[in-house]
């Protein structure tokens, strides 16, 4: 089956951009609620220009943006009628989700919504059988998930009615209470929407996060969207963040997308509404790599030819009759050795540079059969400028 995978921008933005530590600072640093909630009276992102964000995402080759409409703190970034704890009651006083939706629609960018099930502000938001709940005392200790579900539904109705077509819905933190009526509502309001697996019933796609070590195989068996932040410590804006290397991220994106998954790469805009250069320069560099790879990373199929790559971590895909070798951790030498080539290729291209690579079907002295001791015949692609490419995942295109 052909994948319909995409590269997207994840955006974690909320009051937590003011302390600039972590999106869950309230719980992780055990702040008194009243102290945290004061940020509402300070939030004034006067530099917010959603078109800039959309154009940055576009330049990076991204096809959708998924933004936090409400994180665990319960603060709502849109003009919701269900609580006063929302963006309209800040000094800024404008619906930032509406502004982003308008910019996305203007520039043909798909828009997705993140919505947190835990709500550390709502008096009925405590759900003891789920994770990421905060001390019940801070929200009055009342447990009434049914009452809370009505609130969630009313908010979902607003989000999925008032902001045009929504591409995917990203629930966060599964509630562990089974209630299919929430996803039914989502689908009723936005037929065709794709829902993740962190809601109140099964969704459409899996959401591995920051856990590349646990991923196995060469192809996802179900719809998958992996996510990661540019920063290692936080999803929200963090001053002095520890950033992942470009090499690590291109390797992760290549691997996940070659397996047929989508990839959401997160930025945390600051309290003035800027995607600061710490984040944007890294995104531009990743985008520069991604744009050279994009054709090979989207809408491909599993390679059915019985090819075997002898060295290095490699995933093989196929698209329009061409084979792609995704060396997501780079090749280990300046050559790629492939067993089982059906014929001599017409051409071989290194997508990182766009240049043709020399190749031949031949024997190489160090690859021989243990049984006969005789060198085996291989497709040998060579001349890969591997040391110049050490900061990137490497992709090779073979045209047969
Ligand atoms: C983790 C974090 C949460 C973040 C989410 C994004 O669950 O704890 O804060 O929003 O990842 O997928």
Tell me the backbone φ, ψ of residue 175, rounded to 5 degrees.
-75, -20
How many A from CA of 225 to the centre of ligand 1?
Answer: 14
How many A from CA of 89 to the centre of ligand 1?
Answer: 25
Q: Which long-range contacts (CB under 8 A, 24 or more apart) does 102-105 make?
A: 102/50, 103/50, 103/51, 103/53, 103/54, 104/50, 104/54, 104/65, 105/164
Measured CA distances, 311 to 308, 325, 329, 345, 348 (Å): 9, 12, 11, 20, 18
Atom of ligand 1 nearest to the CA of 266: 6
Cα-Cα-Cα-Cα dihedral sign, residues 39, 40, 43, 48:
positive
Q: How many other CB atoms sit within 10 Å of the CB of residue 300?
A: 22
Domain extent listing, the chain: 7-292, 301-399
Measured CA distances, 18 to 59, 96, 222, 238 (Å): 28, 16, 38, 9
Probe residue for ligand 1, chosen from 13, 74, 171, 172 as the CB with the greatest number of ligand atoms within 8 Å: 172
In the chain the beta strands, taken as DSSP E runs, fall at: 7-11, 64-70, 110-116, 168-172, 194-195, 225-229, 262-267, 301-302, 308-309, 315-319, 322-327, 336-339, 347-350, 355-356, 359-368, 375-381, 394-399
How many A from CA of 210 to the centre of ligand 1?
Answer: 10
How many A from CA of 258 to the centre of ligand 1?
Answer: 24
* Euclidean distance between CA atoms 78 and 316, whole angstroms: 43
How many A from CA of 168 to the centre of ligand 1?
Answer: 17
Q: How many other CB atoms sit within 10 Å of the CB of residue 264?
A: 27
Probe residue for ligand 1, chosen from 209, 233, 238 as the CB with the greatest number of ligand atoms within 8 Å: 209
Nearest CA to ligand 1 atom 8: 24
Query: For 301-399, which CATH class?
Result: mainly beta
Q: How many other CB atoms sit within 10 Å of the CB of residue 336?
A: 27
Ligand 1: residues with CB < 6 A are 12, 23-24, 172, 209, 227, 235
pLDDT at 141: 54
Q: Provide DSSP, 207-276.
A: --BS-GGG--SSS-SS-BEEEEESBSS-SS--TTPPBPPHHHHHHHHHHHHHTT-EEEEEE---TTS---
Probe residue for ligand 1, chosen from 234, 235, 238 as the CB with the greatest number of ligand atoms within 8 Å: 235
- Parallel, antiparallel, or unpaired for β 322-327 and 315-319? antiparallel
Does domain 7-292 match CATH 3.20.20.80? Answer: yes
* Euclidean distance between CA atoms 241 and 232, whole angstroms: 7
If phi > 0 it is left, if psi is from -120 to 50 it is alpha, else beta; for residue 141 that is left
The pLDDT tens digits along the chain (400 residues) read 567 899 999 999 999 999 999 999 999 999 999 999 999 999 999 999 999 999 999 999 999 999 999 999 999 999 999 999 999 999 999 999 999 999 999 999 999 999 999 999 998 888 888 889 887 655 555 567 888 999 999 999 999 999 999 999 999 999 989 999 999 999 999 999 999 999 999 999 999 998 777 888 899 999 999 999 999 999 999 999 999 999 999 999 999 999 999 999 999 999 999 999 999 999 999 999 999 999 999 999 999 999 999 999 999 999 999 999 999 999 999 999 999 999 999 999 999 999 999 999 999 999 999 999 999 999 999 999 999 998 999 999 999 9
* Euclidean distance between CA atoms 299 and 266, whole angstroms: 22
Comparing CA positions, the residue from 188, 184, 196, 231 lying closest to residue 210 is 231
How many A from CA of 388 to the centre of ligand 1?
Answer: 35
pLDDT at 1: 58
Q: Give SS3 for 197.
A: coil
pLDDT at 91: 98
Cα-Cα-Cα-Cα dihedral sign, residues 285, 291, 292, 295:
positive
Atom of ligand 1 nearest to the CA of 210: 11
pLDDT at 236: 98
Comparing CA positions, the residue from 110, 220, 97 lying closest to residue 165 is 110
Nearest CA to ligand 1 atom 2: 235
Atom of ligand 1 nearest to the CA of 227: 12
pLDDT at 136: 62
How many A from CA of 235 to the centre of ligand 1?
Answer: 7
Q: Which residues pair with 229 in a beta bridge?
A: 266
How many A from CA of 234 to the centre of ligand 1?
Answer: 9
């Amino acid at each position: 089956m052909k994948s319909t995978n995409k590269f997207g921008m994840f955006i974690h933005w909320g009051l937590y951009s003011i302390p600039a530590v972590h999106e869950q600072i309230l719980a992780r640093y055990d702040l008194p609620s009243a102290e945290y909630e004061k940020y509402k009276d300070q939030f004034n992102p006067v530099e917010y220009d959603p078109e800039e964000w959309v154009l940055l995402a576009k330049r990076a080759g991204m096809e959708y943006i998924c933004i936090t409409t409400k994180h665990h703190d319960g603060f709502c970034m849109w003009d919701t009628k269900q609580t006063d704890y929302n963006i309209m009651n800040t000094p800024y006083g404008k619906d930032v989700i509406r502004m982003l939706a308008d910019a996305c629609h203007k520039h043909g960018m798909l828009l997705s919504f993140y919505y947190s099930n835990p709500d550390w502000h709502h008096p009925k938001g405590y759900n003891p059988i789920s994770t990421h709940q905060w001390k019940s005392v801070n929200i009055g200790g009342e447990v009434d998930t049914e009452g809370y579900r009505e609130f969630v539904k009313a908010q979902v109705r607003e989000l999925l009615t008032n902001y045009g077509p929504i591409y995917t819905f990203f629930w966060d933190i599964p509630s562990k209470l089974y209630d299919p009526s929430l996803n039914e509502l989502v689908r009723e309001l936005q037929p065709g929407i794709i829902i993740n697996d962190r809601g109140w019933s099964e969704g459409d796609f899996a959401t591995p996060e920051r856990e590349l070590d646990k991923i196995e195989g060469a192809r996802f068996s179900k719809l998958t969207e992996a996510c990661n932040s540019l920063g290692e410590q936080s999803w929200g804006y963090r001053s002095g963040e520890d950033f992942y290397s470009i090499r690590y991220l291109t390797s992760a994106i290549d691997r996940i997308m070659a397996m047929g998954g989508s990839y959401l790469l997160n930025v945390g805009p600051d309290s003035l509404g800027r995607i600061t250069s710490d984040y944007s320069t890294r995104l531009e560099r990743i985008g520069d790599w991604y744009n050279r790879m994009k054709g090979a990373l989207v809408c491909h199929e599993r390679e059915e030819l019985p090819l075997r790559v002898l060295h290095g971590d490699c995933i093989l895909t196929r698209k329009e009759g061409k084979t792609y070798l995704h060396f997501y951790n780079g090749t280990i030498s300046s050559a790629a050795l492939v067993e089982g080539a059906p014929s001599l290729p017409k051409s071989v291209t290194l997508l990182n540079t766009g240049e043709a690579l020399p190749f031949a079907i031949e024997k190489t002295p160090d690859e021989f059969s243990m049984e006969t001791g005789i060198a085996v015949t291989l497709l040998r692609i060579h001349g890969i400028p591997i040391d110049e490419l050490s900061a990137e995942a490497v992709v090779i295109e073979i045209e047969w």
